[in-house]
Amino acid sequence: MKASTLISINDISVDYEIASGGGILKKAYLRAIQDISFVIKEGDTWSVVGESGSGKSTLAMALIGLITLSDGTINYNFNDQKITISSKKGKRKGMKSLWRKIGIVFQDPFSALDPRILIKDIISEPFIGHKIGKKTEVMKRIEKLLPLVGLRAEYLEYFPDQLSGGLRQRVSIARALINEPEFIIFDEPTSSLDVSLQAQILNLIKSIQRSTKLTYLFITHNLMVARYISENIIVMYLGNILEKGKTADIFEKPLHPYTQLLMASIPLPEPGYELKKPSAERVTQGSGITIPNGCVFHDRCPVATPYCGWTPDELITIIANELYNLTGERGISAEIISETSFDIHVVNGNIISEVKDIISRNSKFFKTFREGGNVFHIELFIPWKPRMIKVDEYREVKCILLDKEFK
Amino acid sequence: MTRRNLNDLVTQESEADIILEVKNLNVHFFTRRGEIKAIRGINFYVKRGEVLGIVGESGSGKSVTALTLVDLLPSGIGCITEGDILLNGERISDTYKKEYRIIRRKKVKLSQKRTSRKVSNHVQNIRGHISMIFQDPLTSLDPLYKVKAQMIESIMYNNRKMLIKRILEKDDIKKNKKDLVELLNFKGIQAFSEKITNLYGPDGFHQELLMIENSSIGETEKKTRIVKALHALEPLDKHIIDSLNNQLNNLRKKVWRPNNSKKYRFTGKINRILLQEAELYSIELLELVDMPHPDKVMESYPHELSGGMKQRVMIALGVANKPDILIADEPTTALDVITQYQILYLLKTLNQKLGLTIIFITHDLGVMAAIADRILVMYAGKISEIGPTKYILSEPLHPYTRGLLQSAPSISNKQVDLYSIPGQVPDLLNPPNGCSFANRCSFATERCRNDPPTFNIKGRTVNCWLYEVKENES
């Protein structure tokens, strides 16, 4: 039986306003996630992997509808109803029913639970808040849940501070399950836990899926956890998906240089493991305010070529140099029109044919060129924005260097 | 700016002598709920120039051990009840003993009234030898001040003696112009620059010298330019040098520390000179930790830096004191994999280049494998096992270490179900008698009700009854 689509995410982007503007001041935005699309099938587990600041948590928030999208749509195809979130304002009708269908488990079990209310009230709060049933029903549901999440009945009368980290995370999971959701988001559920507790919680999460056939989205920065828990992985960097596919494939042969770097950076608990000089060139990730030209990762990429991050400026110098080598003249001036296009003005009429020659030779970088007298209008081609390249049915990768290989 | 000034950060002794020794250490916390026995009789030593890793779950006492070493236990609540800490053969755990007596006397009223411990010379001395970096670089730096201000403040308080020495040594070059010119004329540029490299140069003088040496002008021309550059240097006023010497003599007698009652302000001409020197020194430190654009970082606020850069600032501050030991308490837990790798590499190079002794605390065995020479496994306030990294990872002796290694998800092979150690960490208010791991251990037998002694097996120590027979055989 082929599983049906539960959630389809179509080219969503999210912007955060970082300066509200007013007067002569401009509004400024930070692009948290950009053109993200993938399809979650029923019963799947997806992991989103990336550094902090890569937009993992923003993606989760967008999926629950806690932030408005700037672009794109998300379609939910639940058993009894279909909901669509889009970037248009005023279309937030189905939100409450959406929240009933989605559960979420947060990172820090110490701040996710209200320290002043009892565990049983914490677990039943979503049930009562969404007016799903009467208060008498909730205790029945909790009793059913307890063996599933591995909590003893006596803990219900405790306060959160009487429980250890692992038990609190179990309470969080119980709270996410109380409304019988179809989809659960885990936002780094084990990153604040110890190794042995992490193993317990991961086993628990897996066993719940086995018995309830839930669909999971798992956010983590630990690749080993992602490998253990999920069948599909998305690798994110600066709000972009760089690689996605089946976990086994990605771990067997990471295609994108960033994925390779991530894999190489995990210290392994094996005797004789040695640190080598880090291959990442720059220390910092950069920010979403000024997204790098071309590939978002090119300025840290160990195998980047000049094509990965060309700007019109650099292209113009390359053309001018080539012309100088050919004719010994500097007879052109250039003007940048937009981020992806520029004009070349030929000052000296004698060298028009040479300029034409150079442009046609570089046609793999230029999309079109229009000639109007002494002016050439040039638009840039692929190096500008790398696109998703389909490798096979499940696997996609966004890297200019791999463009030719999988065309 | 030269890096050679920092080579004497840590004394470079290759012999594996013991720098820190902990003997039968017991640390208890006196709380309203009762006496929490956080550390219960641990023995270990740290060799000079090694990286000792401490592994354990939260609550196992690894952070408390670190805090005890730097005298940062919450005053009036936690203290050493028994045992000694020896740093370079000198006992540094005396102050706690005094406090323990105070705490014991007022045991009941503790939570209402905390005894405040004055920062004594003794404590100041410890902090000069052991420094510590913490888990979260975000909360370790003050968000209100620039990195520059925070670095200079710390250096001015703790390293005043070194700053004055540096200034005086720089001034030596300026005063001995005549000798240096003679050396240059009679023995040549080579000998001159060798002589100069042993001295701290005034700001920019070394660069100028290097530029002149590398330029393609003639020998005589080079000499005249160097002499010109030398003569351009102006020595400090005599009264400034006098008062600097005066301060230095006072500092030799006792550890300098600011008067806590009045807010200390760095004003006056001498302080201004010291501040300049401190700024130069902090840029050198940032260069040491491979910080990109140290000048820019100095002028930025902590929130403008990424997590990895903040941790680099913390490490720079940690080595500013030229410590004997650097304690790193989970310095990479809050960072992502790639940054973690860079920080680990940095700490390892500091360890190898400067011979810095590091005590590294973490719960990630992969990180341990990358950085530690020896691993100490802690459980419920006791040591389970100590041994070289490769043996601990390849053939762990203690059942707890085995459990830890098995429960980490592996990248090389996909498991169906992760192994998890059954049960929970015991409550340290009422720790169990005998082996504290016995109730979670699958090998537990009757004799585990008694406290396991330490067994030595092939240079490794393990606290487990399983190895009783083996020791007798060997």
The mean-pLDDT minimum among A150-159, B112-121, B153-162, B333-342 falls in: B112-121
Q: Looking at A238-311, which runs of residues are DSSP E strands?
A: 240-246
Q: How far apart are the first and last CA of chain A?
A: 31
What is the distance in angstroms between the Cα of A193 and the nearest Cα belonging to chain B?
8
Say if CB B326 and CB B357 are below 8 A apart.
Answer: yes
Contact A273 B370 (CB under 8 A): yes
- Whole-prediction pTM: 0.81
CA dihedral A395, A398, A400, A406 (to 10 degrees): 10
Going by pLDDT thresholds of 50, 70 and 90, the confidence category of residue A105 is very high
Q: Can you give the pLDDT at residue B8?
A: 44
CB B308 within 8 A of CB A52: no
CB contact (8 A) between residue B340 and residue A265 = yes
pLDDT of residue B59: 81
3 state DSSP class of B440: helix
Q: Rounded to an integer, what distance in angstroms lies between the CA atom of residue B43 and that of residue B20?
A: 11
How many Cβ contacts (< 8 angstroms) between chains A and B? 131
In the predicted structure, residue A357 carries a pLDDT above the cut 70: yes
> What does the pLDDT average to over A304-326?
73
How far does chain B reach from its first CA to its final CA, in angstroms?
56
Q: Is A278 helix (H, G, I), strand (E, B) or coil?
A: coil
* Residue A147: inside a domain: yes
Tokens of A329: 């003249």
DSSP 3-state of A232: strand
Residue A290 phi, psi (nearest 5): -115, 95
Closest chain B residue to the Cα of A50, Cα to Cα: B336
State how far the Cα of A307 lies from the Cα of A303, in Å rounded to an integer: 11
d(CA A288, CA A305): 22
- 3-state SS of chain B: helix, strand, coil percent to 5? 50, 15, 35
**Could you tell me the sign of the dihedral formed by the alpha carbons of A304, A307, A311, A317, in that order?**
positive
Residues B439-464 have a mean pLDDT of 86
Min distance A164 CA to chain B CA atoms (Å)? 9
What percentage of chain B carries pLDDT values higher than 90? 20
Residue B191 has pLDDT above 60, yes or no: yes
Q: Are A374 and A282 in contact (CB under 8 A)?
A: no
Q: Does residue A121 or residue B198 have the better pLDDT? A: A121
Q: Are B50 and B373 in contact (CB under 8 A)?
A: yes
Give the model's confidence band at B122: pLDDT under 50 very low, under 70 low, under 90 confident, else very high.
low
Q: Determine which of A45-59, A248-262, A298-312, B383-397 has the lowest per-residue pLDDT on average.
A: A298-312
Name the nearest CA neighbour of B307 among B140, B444, B152, B137.
B137
Distance CA A194, CA A200 (A): 10
* Distance separating alpha carbons of residues A236 and A58, to the nearest angstrom: 11
A269 at B interface, C-beta within 8 A:
yes
| Mutation choice for A interface testing from B336, B440, B441 by most A CBs within 10 A | B336
- In a domain? residue A249: no
Q: Which residues of A touch B408 (CB under 8 A)?
A: 195, 199, 224, 269
B405: pLDDT strictly greater than 90: no
- List pLDDT tens digits, range B43-86: 999 999 999 999 988 888 888 999 888 878 877 778 888 888 88
Chosen from B332, B337, B395 to mutate, greatest number of chain A CBs within 10 A: B337
Average pLDDT across chain A, whole number:
82
Q: Which residues of B touch A275 (CB under 8 A)?
A: 341, 344-345, 348, 370-371
Which residues of chain B from 331 to 370 reach within 8 Å of chain A, CB to CB?
336-342, 344-345, 348, 363-370
Note whether B415 contacts A: Cβ–Cβ < 8 A.
Answer: yes
Flag whether the ipTM exceeds 0.85: no
Residue numbers in B near A195 (CB within 8 A) = 57, 363-365, 404, 407-408
Distances (CA, A) of B211 to A273, B190, B214, B215, B438: 42, 14, 5, 6, 68
Percent over 70 (pLDDT), chain B: 82
C-alpha B316/C-alpha B375 separation (Å) is 25
Q: In CATH, what number is assigned to the domain containing residue A194?
A: 3.40.50.300
Same domain, A216 and A68: yes
Q: Are residues B411 and A51, on separate chains, in Cβ contact within 8 Å?
A: no
Residue A15 main-chain phi, psi, to 5 deg: -110, 140
* A12 contacts A33 by C-beta, under 8 angstroms: yes
Q: Among B132, B392, B443, B58, which residue's Cα sits nearest to residue A164?
A: B58
**What pLDDT is recorded for position A300?**
80
pLDDT attached to residue B253 = 59
Asked if residue A238 is part of any domain, the answer here is: no
Contact B33/A162 with Cβ under 8 angstroms? Answer: no
B460 forms bridges with which residues in the sheet? B457
Query: What is the tens place of the pLDDT at every residue in B236-285?
Result: 778 888 888 877 777 665 555 555 444 445 557 778 888 888 998 999 89
Top mean-pLDDT range of A189-198, A277-286, B243-252, B354-363: B354-363
Q: Give the alpha-carbon dihedral of A273, A278, A279, A280, to 10 degrees.
A: 130
Please identify which residue in the block is written with the tokens 């003249």.
Answer: A329
The residues in A 73-92 lying below 8 A from B, measured between CB atoms, are: none
User: How confident is residue A369, by pLDDT bands cut at 50, 70 and 90?
Assistant: low
Q: Rounded to 5, what percent of chain A is helix, strand, coil? A: 35, 25, 40
Secondary structure class of B314 (helix, strand, coil): helix
Query: Is residue B359's pLDDT more than 90?
Result: yes
Q: Where do the structural domains in chain B lie, given as residue ranges?
A: 1-129+324-474, 147-294
Judge: B409–A282 Cβ closer than 8 Å, yes or no.
no
pLDDT confidence of residue B416: 67
Residue A265 lies in a domain: no
For residue B370, give both structure tokens.
């990358």
CA-closest candidate to residue A150, choices A128, A135, A172: A172
Count CB-CB contacts under 10 A for residue B147.
27
A40 falls within a domain = yes
Pick the CATH number of B1-129+324-474 from 3.30.450.20, 3.40.50.300, 3.40.50.720, 3.90.1170.40: 3.40.50.300
Which amino acid would we find at residue B329?
D
Q: Cβ–Cβ of B369/A198 closer than 8 Å? A: no
Asked if B368's CB is within 8 angstroms of A284's CB, the reply is: no
Single-letter residue type at A46: W
| Residue B121 touches partner A, C-beta closer than 8 Å | no
In order of A100, A144, A209, A252, the CA distances from A134 in angstroms are 16, 16, 27, 50
DSSP type of residue B451: P
Q: Which of A271, A278, A283 sits opposite B393 (nearest CB)?
A: A271
Of A38, A172, A174, the residue nearest A105 (C-alpha):
A172
Find the range with the poorest average confidence among A85-99, B30-44, B117-131, B296-310.
B117-131
pLDDT, residue B111, reads: 39
**Of the ranges A236-245, A275-284, B12-21, B329-338, the best mean pLDDT one:** A236-245
pLDDT of B399 reads 92
When divided into structural domains, chain A yields a total of 2
Tell me whether residues A271 and B365 touch, CB distance under 8 A.
no
Range from A157-161, A174-178, A349-353, B254-258 carrying the lowest mean pLDDT:
B254-258
Look at the alpha carbons of A143, A145, A148, A154 in this order and tell me if their dihedral is positive or negative.
negative
- On whether residue A13 sits in a domain, the answer given is yes
Q: Does the pLDDT at position B20 exceed 60?
A: yes
pLDDT, residue B14, reads: 40
* pLDDT of A65 over the 70 cut: yes
User: Which of B18, B75, B22 minimizes the C-alpha distance to B47?
Assistant: B18
Range of the domain at A94: 5-230
**Which domain CATH number covers A316?**
3.30.1360.40
Q: CA-nearest residue of chain A to B341?
A: A265
